[in-house]
């Protein structure tokens, strides 16, 4: 028994140290290190497709949007960003990084294939678009009494029905909240009213459709793609999925997912690989994969089947969002405490 326990312990220690060695290999810059966020199944599929073509060359570090943002920020402050590529979160942080000269220029292979509205002047590319909408449980609003606009959510008839992600815990939720603030004429009272109306703050945006689907809440503010993924899952696993989307009358908030290459000393081959990876994500093959997971493509040749014709899009001013972020956070915390 003693011998067995000793052997088990030894094996565990060896495996743990072996894992450590793998880390070291990654740190020796033999692979491109990518900090990214997103649905794990989608990222796995993309990694497999890319590596089928280029070999085992990627090191994906999958995190939440907030973690990508905070890790990059902390590493930048410490003097060196460890990642070669960052992908996820919102454009606000990328604008700052681009302005500070931390990002490398990206050479897009077929620029004409991309929709011109998604091309930026900065050193990053936009890979997808998602829309912040109102989500609701269709079984609870069978008579069509669901809210039609973000402003409706303040009404007393929707008291204790609403769930949204907490901007204190999630970076995308912060982006959504500050976009709402911009769209509703910088009206901080909107959040006070939601608070008065009993809004629940979930840990992440992913939880919003889940909580509606499970019957805990009837309404939510969240990105549309999470509903698409939940619908796909419900279809596959055979359970009822009553969550639907309202495209608000004020317009839907468009949030783009950026990708950037970090400027650093690396050999030509690796630099080329980074450029290849970004171009792969913008390719039709990769964009079709991500479209299946609910993300709107930035390419001209993949139709946006998610956004209804009559919906208007509100484009966020990310520069202003980052400038006002501290004040917004402070006011938001004041309300939700």
Partner 1 sequence: MKINLNKTIRKSLNNSHLQQLRLRFCLKNVILFILLSVLVSIVIYPIARLVVKSVIINSDFSFKSVQQLLRIGGLRSIFNTFKLAFTVLVGAWLVGGTMAYISVNTDYRHKKIINTLMFLTFTIPSYILSVSWIQITSRNGYLYRVLKTVFPSMRFDLNTYSIGAAATVLIVHLAPLVFFGLKNSLERLNISLINSARISGASRSQITAKIVLPLMVPSFISTGLLVFSRSLANFGVVAQLALPVGQEVLTTSIFSAVSSLNLGAACVLAVVLMVISLILYQAIDKISCRERYVFRSDQVNGSSFIRLGRVEGLVTSVLSIYFALTLIIPLVTIFLSSFVKRWGVPISLESLTLSNYLKIINGEIRVFRALFNSLSFGLIAGFAAVTIVSLTLFLAKNNRGKPISWALKICHLPIAFPNMILAIAAIFAWSEQPIKLYGTKWIIIITYVVLFMPIILKQVKGMVDNIDTSADKVARTMGIGFCRRFYHLFLPQCKPGLAAGFLTCLLIALREIPVSLLLYTNRTRTMGVMLFTVQSNSYGLEMTSTIAVIIIFLSMTLSLLMRKLNRGRGYDGSAAN
Interface residues with partner 1 (CB under 8 A) are 9, 12-13, 15-16, 19-20, 23, 39-41, 60-63, 66, 69-71, 73-74, 78, 82, 160, 166, 168-169, 174, 195, 200-207, 209-210, 213-217, 226, 229-230, 233-234, 237-240, 329-330, 333-337
Identify which of residues 55 and 215 has a Cβ nearer to partner 1 in the complex.
Answer: 215
Distances (CA, A) of 71 to 117, 164, 204: 29, 24, 18
* Smallest distance, partner 1 to C-beta of residue 56, A: 16
> In the bound complex, what is the minimum distance in angstroms from residue 60's beta carbon to partner 1?
8
The sign of the torsion formed by the CA atoms of 61, 67, 68, 72 equals: negative
Torsion of CA 246, 201, 226, 249, to 10 degrees: 20
**Minimum Å distance from CB 73 to partner 1?**
6
Nearer residue to partner 1 within complex by CB, 142 or 309: 142
> What SS3 class is residue 259?
strand
* Rounded Cα distance, 334 and 337, in Å: 6
Please name which of 307, 104, 112, 137 lies closest in space to residue 217, comparing C-alpha atoms.
Answer: 137
- Provide the 10 A C-beta neighbour count for residue 239: 9
Judged by CB, which is closer to partner 1: 108, or 188? 188
Name which of 233 and 285 has its Cβ closer to partner 1: 233
Q: What's the closest the beta carbon of residue 324 comes to partner 1, in angstroms?
A: 15
Work out how close the CB of 39 gets to partner 1 at its nearest, in angstroms, rounded to a whole number: 7
* Contact (Cβ atoms closer than 8 angstroms) between residue 230 and residue 122: no
How many residues are present in the chain?
337
Nearer to partner 1, 101 or 337 (CB): 337
């Amino acid at each position: 028994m003693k011998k067995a326990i000793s052997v088990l312990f030894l094996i565990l220690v060896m495996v743990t140290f072996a894992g450590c060695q793998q880390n070291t290999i990654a740190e020796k810059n033999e692979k491109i290190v990518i900090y990214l966020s997103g649905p794990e199944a989608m990222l796995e599929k993309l990694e497999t497709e890319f590596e089928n073509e280029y070999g085992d060359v990627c090191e994906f570090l999958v995190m939440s949007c907030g973690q990508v943002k905070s890790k990059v920020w902390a590493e930048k402050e410490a003097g060196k960003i460890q990642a070669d590529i960052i992908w996820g979160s919102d454009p606000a942080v990328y604008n700052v990084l681009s302005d500070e000269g931390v990002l490398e220029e990206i050479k897009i292979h077929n620029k004409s294939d991309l929709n011109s509205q998604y091309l930026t002047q900065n050193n990053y590319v936009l890979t997808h678009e998602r829309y912040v909408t109102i989500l609701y449980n269709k079984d609870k609003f069978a008579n069509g009494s669901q809210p039609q606009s973000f402003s409706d959510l303040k009404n007393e008839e929707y008291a204790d029905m609403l769930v949204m992600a907490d901007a204190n815990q999630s970076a995308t939720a912060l982006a959504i909240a500050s976009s709402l603030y911009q769209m509703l004429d910088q009206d901080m009272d909107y959040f006070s009213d939601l608070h008065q109306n009993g809004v629940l703050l979930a840990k992440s945006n992913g939880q919003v459709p889940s909580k509606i689907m499970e019957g805990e809440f009837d309404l939510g503010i969240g990105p549309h793609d999470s509903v698409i993924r939940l619908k796909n899952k419900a279809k596959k696993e055979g359970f009822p999925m009553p969550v639907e989307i309202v495209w608000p009358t004020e317009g839907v908030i468009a949030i783009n997912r950026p990708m950037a290459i970090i400027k650093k000393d690396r050999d030509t081959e690796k630099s080329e690989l980074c450029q290849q990876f970004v171009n792969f994500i913008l390719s039709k093959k990769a964009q079709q994969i991500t479209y299946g997971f609910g993300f709107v493509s930035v390419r001209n040749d993949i139709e946006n089947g998610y956004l209804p014709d009559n919906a208007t899009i509100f484009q966020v001013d990310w520069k202003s969002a980052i400038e006002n972020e501290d004040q917004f956070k402070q006011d938001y915390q004041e309300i939700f405490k």
